[in-house]
Amino acid sequence: MIKPLSISLLLASLALAGCVETSATKTGQTPAVTAGDLSGVPARACRAAIAKTMNRPVSDVAVFDVAESQAGITVQATVAGAEAPWRCTADRSGRVSNVMYTGSEGRL
């Protein structure tokens, strides 16, 4: 059984992703929810770190991809109003080691 909170977070992230104009949305595409635990500890930590970096509420950040590798867990998220996604690296405990904008910083 899927938890109602997980469904709500997924729907919210899809809704926010559809509201952000990126180079992909200019051509009619939106970032797709791809994989991983979108509501796990690393995703929540990265969502908070991205929001803090942008000085925005956490509700403006929507995680759409979480991928695990030897380097850590990479989380990708959209931010309302940003033209490109943000990328964050964290460990399983939620310790964030890197937050970066994937687009042109002149367009933040």
Per domain, the residue ranges of the chain are 4-107
- pLDDT score for 107: 55
User: Alpha carbon 90 to chain centroid distance?
Assistant: 13
Q: Which residue has the tokens 């367009």?
A: 107
- Alpha-carbon distance values, 91 to 1, 41, 60, 82, 95 (Å): 27, 9, 23, 25, 5
Phi, psi of 105 (to 5 degrees): -70, -20
Task: List the alpha helices (DSSP H) in the chain.
Answer: 4-19, 23-26, 41-54
pLDDT at 3: 52
pLDDT for 71: 84
pLDDT of the chain, 108 residues: tens digit per residue: 445 444 444 445 544 444 444 444 444 445 656 678 999 999 999 999 999 999 999 999 999 999 998 889 999 999 999 999 999 999 999 999 999 999 987 755
Closest among 106, 91, 104 to 41, alpha carbons compared: 91
pLDDT at position 33 is: 60
Amino acid at 49: A
CA distance 73 to 60: 21
Length of the chain: 108
